Structure 1
Amino acid sequence: MTPTTPNMSRRRSPSGSGGTWPPTPPKAGHTGYARRGCARSTTSRPGNSSSSCSRCCAGAGASEVWRKISRPRDTFSEPVSAAQAAVKNPADAPVAGNAVMDAENKVLTFTPAQAWTPATKYTVAVSAAKDAAGNTMAPHSWSFTTVGNPIGTNGTDYPIADNATVESPITMSGHSGNASTTSTVEVHIAHTYIGDLQVDLVAPDGSTYPLHSHTGSDTDNIDQTYTVNLSSEPINGTWKLRVNDNAGGDTGKIDSWTLTLGGPAPAGLQAQAEPEQRTTASTLSRASAENSQPSQAGAAADRTAAAAAGGTFDYEHSSLEDCRVSPRGTDYAEYDARIEELPYSSCWSAYLYLQDYEYDPETGKMKKANRRSHVFAMFAEHVGEEVEELFDDDDAFRFRATWVIHSYLGDKTGNSVVNGAGSGLKPTTMKMFLRLDDFAVVDDSDGGEVKFSGNRMGGLPITAGLLTGARSGSNGDCDPDDETKHKDVSEWHSTPDAMFLISASVPSNSTMICSFTPSLLLHTDDGITVLNLWSQEVKDEDGLTIGVRRHGSEEPYDFTWVPNFRCDRKTFGAGNDDVPDRTGGCVNTRSKRVFVMSKSRDARFIEVIEHIEAALNPSNSQTFPPLRPGHNWGDPSHPPSRFGPVGGQNKQIPGNWGAPGANNPAGKPLTRGITKTEANAEGTIPTYDYNRNYFSRRELHMDVGTTQEMHWLLPPSLSVPPATELEYNIREKERERRAWTINYCKYYMPEKYRAPNTADKLPGGMGNSCDEYPFASTLQGAAYAQGNFSLKAVNARQNSLHGTTLETFYTQFRVGRGTKFWVLIES
């Protein structure tokens, strides 16, 4: 919610002179909480600073009330000009923000640049407003105080015993309304094996909200703040932190926990723009065309930033204006086409030329014959002149065609789209915006000089057509609401835009690719001329590419470069409480998705970033495990020795968007593998577990045959019979617990863990976990890499945060099974 200030109404003096605006009491607004004091009505005249209290009241303390309100807003009874609003904090320092007058010049609204601070008094000063007669209102100020968030803390220790459940309560009272969608639970638990624990927040009505569910294996302690949507829960009542330890061997305590039910205030009340409109606050960058290998590091126009978990999602939709000035296409669409490929947007813009040719018997070749063109004859007839007087054979009919396609991301339900409240859009809905402009007849032999402008044109019907359909092998279909938009060239000149709405039908948990084939039909007395609106390769008789069709003189070779969007109705984010579920969506198949990490912006998991940076460094021979010739990578139970030669060979680790050179192996993409949901449905193992099991959760035999020989073993398995079912289950749980404590990182970096206290020298947990790159969720992970991977012990909390951010990236940009992506690290 956004704490904001009341409306203030200014009324002009009934006499029409003197310019008075007595303020009325503040009105209630819409969202947020603020405290207002007693309002006083004042009368003042230009040049006279005196004022009288026409409606005084008792001291502010007697009349203060709490109101739900909107942004600081002053309403005037008639149009005014030059009104100014300034807000100051308790230190008398200006609050950065923007004061905007509405279209009727009656309402002045102030939006802060950053969030209001809870429990803080602000002062608003309004001045300089003038009415139509030139009367100026006297400066007026008032104040409001934002409410502090409902917060409770319990610092009492509650012991956590083996195979037991313990609860720590916090009671809230004296508040009204429900908790926030961004309530937070700060948890501090001391425990020597957090994989034993299930941690839940229990609401006063008994509803449970999972916070931690048996992850982290032998990592020590939980020190984490969780963000939870508690908007359905009243604030008042007794809340509980419930911890269940369901295994033996490790104990601990609830040290303390803090519950904040108000959530952080947003920066200001943001208008819910239509999803297809371009926003200004960008968390995404450009993404390049699919079949082009990244050529240089840090190309700002060729990457997609990783959105932080729970952060605001920005479609980064291109507009028609953006497309007209976007970079020229590369690899497949040179020759002046402007092309921009983004995950939820695709655009194309190019000048099209139409020229007629006739056979020249003297040369045996085709020559220009535009003077006899039916198009030119229609233009001449429209203005009542002769063709020969207006046009030459070197002239060409030219115009610019631009289209932009927008697609969307489904919300949790799959019935609406993110940021699309009230729009009626569905996750598999797409829009194509088309513009035809810059009509002219130009001298094609004289640098394109305009000889006949678009405002003189008429009599030439032009139909914009859009055919869509599912590509071969796709399961589903897609159709536009209307396949044609028909106008005369004069109407296109005056109203150059058109829009198509495309709906895709996709079976549940399925995927289809929708292809777009936009075209123009020019209707002349001689028939119909078709111009396709995409870049088309043209090949000669030997099959060699000779260019891109642009002037309508050659037939296209194929439909390789028509725009394609992959639509699905799958749910991404399921199974991770920290990642909002997103069900359904359509993404541009030619956009490259790049997971961008910033050392400054993402300092909360800096250890992970630095590990990935070291792995992507071409000189990465010092990373673990060492890559040595002759090692058998098919036997992960025997890792290469940490002793002997220092380091190993440099590794070829892929996924680096910044790798120089088109054929650099380091620049090859990562590919996401099979998810847990898909694996369960197919009866196989998820890619994540397959890779993690390569270097952890297994018996290890190190330095066999040397004085440093070590074996980290699992308890022997039992059979039923002779063991009982209970004995078997207990032993299997022991084996599972033991497996979770074993990994390569403890062998290569024992200093990062607690000193071993057992004969096998297996280190204990100490708040660190074993991080790997390439990511375990990819087909380039440890089990596939033949030693070309890197491991490092990093802070477990940071590793978890990074994993959530990566999963958010997967979810927001539909990076599913088989999808390629890259990583990029910024300062």
Structure 2
Amino acid sequence: MWTKISNVKTYNVLGNVTTGDDDELLKLEVKPTADSGSTCRMTSGSSRQASLTGWKADGDDEFLFTVQDTDGDKADKCTLRPTMVDVDDQWTYRPMYLWSQVAYDQKGQILGKTTGGGDPSGNDPNEKPYTPHVRCDWYRVSNADPEGEGTAAVAAAPTAGVHTGACILPLAKRIFIMSKSKDASYLQVIQHIEKALKQDGSTTDNKLTVPPLRNNEAQNPPVKGVLGSEKTKVIPGNWAAPFGTDPDVVEAGDPLVRGPAGETQKKNRPVFLRSFTVSGTSYSNYCRYYFPERFVDPLKKALDPNGEIQCDEYPFASTLQGAFYAKGNYSLLAVGKAHNTGRGSHGAALGSFYTRNRVISKTPFWVWIVP
């Protein structure tokens, strides 16, 4: 962590800048605190006390910290509270926080500004959760496709493309950006997600995605085709949508949340990748029932160079908003395998996003589709 004390000025009672107080002492303190079950200690740097003259001459300091997991949960936070203390209580007896006091909501919109100083130990009831902190984890995260059939092999993956442990700034939002022009190798999936996220009540919104969502549906899976009773689905994860305001109601602007790797897919995918029979015809999964034309030529070859078709789903099977949890508010589309899984696919891009941004279990994130 780096701190910089600059542009230090004092004013007299008339409001004019003065140097008469340049001998007053200020002390820079950094007191790291760790989550229960971990330690966070300073390994380089220390508190520093200097006069105003000294701070004006040199306001730069550097600190290094080491975080260790002690309870085996493999993910812990270290909170850093750099504060400036008036040594002689000439101006204030409260520590001066050296971080922004602006409070934001989950999508980065300004809520207001906190006021006053307080107890820098983390016990101040008025302190907002915007203090500088890092989250460190010791998970072995692979670039392997988190949506693909090979997810179970992640734990046994070779060292190439595998990262064990990293630290991130949790207050930074994790947004999986997909470009319809730059990410043409998985455009089919992007277009599917874009349609799933359209929930404006129009005749072309996601009420036409499958499986259809209707009241009092008599068949499982729901009857295919447009019956006129289809409902708009409330599907979360859209960074471009207004932020949700009700914590008890799922809204379009709510984040997706990644679930435990492997376990979450095992709950979500069997919802639609199961065998069933409708009117005497057997199907191996929902996509073969809803999109039979995509599994035969000429459309099959048009969708995939090898004629391999897979069932894509949104929200992703790796999230706690997937089919198992969605109460019908999810979407499926039969897409070419090359767009869905494997090198250069959407699944590979999502895996890379998870790895680079340390999107581990319980981490919220959004998707954003751009031109």
- Same-fold call, TM cutoff 0.5: yes
The equivalences for 1:395-434 within 5 A come to: 432-434=1-3
Give me the whole-angstrom Cα distance separating, in 1, the residues matched to 2:318 and 2:198. Answer: 21
Give me the whole-angstrom Cα distance separating, in 2, the residues matched to 1:490 and 1:484. Answer: 17
Give me the whole-angstrom Cα distance separating, in 1, the residues matched to 2:112 and 2:362. Answer: 33
- Shift in Å at residue 510 of structure 1? 1.4
| 2:77 paired residue number | 513
| 1:166 paired residue number | none
The structure 2 residue matched to 1:640, chosen from 222, 225, 241, is 222
Within the alignment, does 1:564 sit opposite 2:122 as a pair?
Answer: no
The structure 2 residue matched to 1:817, chosen from 342, 352, 361, is 361
Within the alignment, does 1:711 sit opposite 2:288 as a pair?
Answer: no
- Shift in Å at residue 812 of structure 1? 1.0
Give me the whole-angstrom Cα distance separating, in 2, the residues matched to 1:772 and 1:513. Answer: 33
The structure 1 residue matched to 2:294, chosen from 733, 749, 752, is 752
| 2:322 paired residue number | 781
The equivalences for 1:305-320 within 5 A come to: none
Within the alignment, does 1:487 sit opposite 2:40 as a pair?
Answer: no
- Shift in Å at residue 569 of structure 1? 1.1
Give me the whole-angstrom Cα distance separating, in 2, the residues matched to 1:554 and 1:687. Answer: 40
| 2:106 paired residue number | none
The structure 1 residue matched to 2:271, chosen from 671, 676, 694, is 694
| 1:441 paired residue number | 10
| 1:47 paired residue number | none
Within the alignment, does 1:674 sit opposite 2:260 as a pair?
Answer: yes
Higher relative contact order (CA 8 A, sep 6+): 2
AA aligned opposite 1:821: F
| 1:665 paired residue number | 251
Go from structure 1 to structure 2 and tell me whether the alpha carbon gap of 1:546 and 1:671 turns closer, same or farther (over 3 Å shift). closer
The equivalences for 1:356-755 within 5 A come to: 432-442=1-11, 450-452=16-18, 458-471=22-35, 474-480=36-42, 481-507=44-70, 510-524=74-88, 529=93, 530-534=95-99, 548-550=114-116, 557-560=125-128, 561-573=130-142, 574-575=154-155, 580-618=161-199, 619-631=205-217, 638-643=220-225, 645=227, 648-660=230-242, 662-663=244-245, 665-676=251-262, 686-696=263-273, 698-702=274-278, 708-712=279-283, 742-754=284-296
Give me the whole-angstrom Cα distance separating, in 2, the residues matched to 1:701 and 1:553. Answer: 65
Give me the whole-angstrom Cα distance separating, in 1, the residues matched to 2:89 and 2:230. Answer: 76
Give me the whole-angstrom Cα distance separating, in 1, the residues matched to 2:178 and 2:242. Answer: 19
Is this contact kept in 2: 1:579–1:807, CA < 8 A?
Answer: no
CA-to-aligned-CA distance 1:379-424 (integer Å, 9 cap, x gap) = xxxxxxxxxxxxxxxxxxxxxxxxxxxxxxxxxxxxxxxxxxxxxx
Is this contact kept in 1: 2:211–2:332, CA < 8 A?
Answer: yes
The SS at the match of 1:783 is coil
Give me the whole-angstrom Cα distance separating, in 1, the residues matched to 2:261 and 2:333. Answer: 24
The SS at the match of 1:808 is helix
- Shift in Å at residue 620 of structure 1? 0.8
AA aligned opposite 1:660: P
Structure in which a larger fraction of residues adopt helix: 2
Go from structure 1 to structure 2 and tell me whether the alpha carbon gap of 1:513 and 1:554 turns closer, same or farther (over 3 Å shift). closer
Is this contact kept in 2: 1:605–1:799, CA < 8 A?
Answer: yes
CA-to-aligned-CA distance 1:779-822 (integer Å, 9 cap, x gap) = 11111111100000111011011111111111111111111111
- Shift in Å at residue 516 of structure 1? 1.4
| 1:330 paired residue number | none
- Shift in Å at residue 571 of structure 1? 0.9
- Shift in Å at residue 547 of structure 1? 5.8
AA aligned opposite 2:40: C
Q: Which protein has the larger Cα radius of gyration, Structure 1 or Structure 2? A: 1
CA-to-aligned-CA distance 1:630-652 (integer Å, 9 cap, x gap) = 126xx8xx211114615721110
The SS at the match of 1:787 is coil
Is this contact kept in 2: 1:475–1:510, CA < 8 A?
Answer: no
Go from structure 1 to structure 2 and tell me whether the alpha carbon gap of 1:642 and 1:528 turns closer, same or farther (over 3 Å shift). closer
- Shift in Å at residue 558 of structure 1? 3.2
| 1:680 paired residue number | none
Give me the whole-angstrom Cα distance separating, in 1, the residues matched to 2:310 and 2:327. Answer: 22
Structure in which a larger fraction of residues adopt strand: 1
The SS at the match of 1:608 is helix
The answer to which of 686-695 and 435-444 deviates more is 435-444
- Shift in Å at residue 825 of structure 1? 0.3
Number of equivalent positions: 325
Is this contact kept in 2: 1:654–1:667, CA < 8 A?
Answer: yes
When the two chains are superposed, the root-mean-square deviation of aligned CA atoms in Å is: 3.1
**TM-score scaled to structure 1, two decimals?**
0.37
Give me the whole-angstrom Cα distance separating, in 2, the residues matched to 1:752 and 1:546. Answer: 52
- Shift in Å at residue 566 of structure 1? 1.5
Give me the whole-angstrom Cα distance separating, in 2, the residues matched to 1:528 and 1:450. Answer: 19
The SS at the match of 1:438 is coil
Go from structure 1 to structure 2 and tell me whether the alpha carbon gap of 1:812 and 1:795 turns closer, same or farther (over 3 Å shift). same
Percent identity over the alignment?
33
Give me the whole-angstrom Cα distance separating, in 2, the residues matched to 1:577 and 1:607. Answer: 30
- Shift in Å at residue 753 of structure 1? 0.5
AA aligned opposite 1:650: T
The SS at the match of 1:794 is strand
| 1:760 paired residue number | none
Within the alignment, does 1:790 sit opposite 2:312 as a pair?
Answer: no
Give me the whole-angstrom Cα distance separating, in 2, the residues matched to 1:433 and 1:786. Answer: 47
Is this contact kept in 2: 1:537–1:558, CA < 8 A?
Answer: no
Is this contact kept in 1: 2:12–2:18, CA < 8 A?
Answer: no
The equivalences for 1:117-266 within 5 A come to: none
Give me the whole-angstrom Cα distance separating, in 1, the residues matched to 2:141 and 2:12. Answer: 55
Is this contact kept in 2: 1:626–1:647, CA < 8 A?
Answer: no
The SS at the match of 2:3 is strand
Go from structure 1 to structure 2 and tell me whether the alpha carbon gap of 1:553 and 1:443 turns closer, same or farther (over 3 Å shift). farther
Is this contact kept in 1: 2:45–2:61, CA < 8 A?
Answer: no
Is this contact kept in 2: 1:536–1:558, CA < 8 A?
Answer: no
**TM-score scaled to structure 2, two decimals?**
0.79
- Shift in Å at residue 438 of structure 1? 1.2
Is this contact kept in 2: 1:579–1:808, CA < 8 A?
Answer: no
Is this contact kept in 1: 2:244–2:252, CA < 8 A?
Answer: no
Within the alignment, does 1:805 sit opposite 2:360 as a pair?
Answer: no
Go from structure 1 to structure 2 and tell me whether the alpha carbon gap of 1:796 and 1:495 turns closer, same or farther (over 3 Å shift). same
